[in-house]
Amino acid sequence: MLDADLAALYGVQTKVLLQAVKRNMGRFPPDFMFRLTKQEFDLLRSQIVTSSQWGGRRYLPYAFTEQGVAMLSSVLNSPRAIRVNIEIMRVFVRMREMIASYSTLARKLDLLEQKYDKRFRIVFEAIRQLMAPPEPRRRPIGFRKQEKNKE
């Protein structure tokens, strides 16, 4: 998660969050927190389509890993920071469980496919299509002329 996003969740300014982190740098090794490169930030900015080039930032943002987010609770010790951190940890756990259950299901489907003959290939392909994440629906751009029913 990016520093600005975490600051918004914790209800503090980004500079306050980063000051607390810098005062406790020993708690944030490179696998807990790292600064994005210019190329990574440009790519991220192009994906979220921000209007201004830097959005008020003078420095490249920091990204925090799951462990870094957990460590923030010991640095930001307000009641809100503790509540937010608990919820973030729960989200990470749920994401991990979803990934594990999906890979387990895919493995079981592979075993079943090997076990049964080719007559069931269509069934297995249909199940795989159902397991695939849905493509995001896009709303049509522009205006559509509504036709009146002529009776």
**Domains in the chain, number:** 1
* 149, part of any domain: no
* 150, part of any domain: no
* 112, part of any domain: yes
* 126, part of any domain: yes
Q: Could you report the per-residue pLDDT of 9-52, keeping only the tens digit for each? A: 888 889 989 999 999 999 999 999 999 988 888 887 766 655 45
For residue 63, what pLDDT is reported? 92
* 8, part of any domain: yes
Q: Quote the percentage of the chain above a pLDDT of 90.
A: 15
* 90, part of any domain: yes
* Of the candidates 13, 16, 4, 21, the residue with the CA atom closest to the CA atom of residue 74: 21
Give the structural domain span for 90.
3-131
* 145, part of any domain: no
| DSSP helix/strand/coil, 66 | helix
Specify the pTM. 0.54
* 66, part of any domain: yes
Give yes or no for residue 133 having a pLDDT over 80. no
Return all residues near 66 (Cβ < 8 A) that are at least 6 apart. 89, 92
Determine the Cα angle at 42 with ends 37 and 45, to 5°.
125
For residue 20, what pLDDT is reported? 92
For residue 45, what pLDDT is reported? 73
* Of the candidates 68, 81, 73, the residue with the CA atom closest to the CA atom of residue 31: 68
